[in-house]
Amino acid sequence: MRKACLFLASIVVLSSNLSAINFSASLFFGLRTVNDSQVRGSFGNGTVYFPCLAVNFWKGFILGGGYEGGYSRTAKLGLYHESSTLEITGFEIFLGYQIPMGKFCPYVKLGYGSFSYRQSVDNPLLEEFKIDKNDMAIIYGGGIRFYPLKSIFLAGEIKMVHFSVSPVDTKVDLGGFRFLAGVGYTL
């Protein structure tokens, strides 16, 4: 993931002298769904935040990266109703295409992410059970920006994250949809 961040930073630095380049910073909030029915039944869907940076580097093409956080849920699990916490966070990089249409700018994007998932189960009779792993995910989605002012935009985005993990012996689908709304600034 460090290589991806360095690549993104080098694109920003190398392209900062070009006149057709513009940069944007945005902050999104919204709903995160969980595909696996057992996980969703125990922990439920949750909310996430997603700050991101992007560069429009050539004829509507954008390259960006961001961090997804905020999904941390607790539940009572098992026969003895043991307290459990599930937390999922991740970094993503994406390539997209946008079409400026006056004050509106629809876009699509495809990305790759490195997500970490942590789960702990407190059992007073046994040692605490913990899972702390990382895995990769494919991300795609789209959205629309609305510019009420020249450089400030409001945005709505829907994206799908394909993120399946095998924490023990069973495969679990922790991916799902993100329904996000945000605000941003374009330089």
Domain around 65:
2-186
pLDDT digits (tens, 9 = 90+) for 35-61: 988 888 888 899 999 999 999 988 889
Cα–Cα distance measured from residue 62 to residue 39, given in angstroms and rounded to the nearest whole number:
34
CATH assignment of the domain containing 150: 2.40.160.20
Cα–Cα distance measured from residue 41 to residue 43, given in angstroms and rounded to the nearest whole number:
6
Cα–Cα distance measured from residue 130 to residue 133, given in angstroms and rounded to the nearest whole number:
10
pLDDT digits (tens, 9 = 90+) for 119-163: 887 766 666 677 778 889 999 999 999 999 989 999 999 999 998
Number of domains in the chain: 1
pLDDT of residue 171: 82
pLDDT of residue 76: 80
pTM: 0.82
Beta carbons within 8 Å of 60's beta carbon, 6+ residues apart = 97, 98, 99, 100
Q: What is the DSSP string of the chain?
A: -HHHHHHHHHHHHHHTT-TT-EEEEEEEEEEE--S-HHHHHHH--EEEEEEEEEEEEETTEEEEEEEEEEEEEEEEETTTTEEEEEEEEEEEEEEEEE--BTTEEEEEEEEEEEEEEEEEEE-TTSPPEEEEEEEEEEEEEEEEEE-SSSSEEEEEEEEEEE-EE-SSSS-EE--EEEEEEEEEEE-
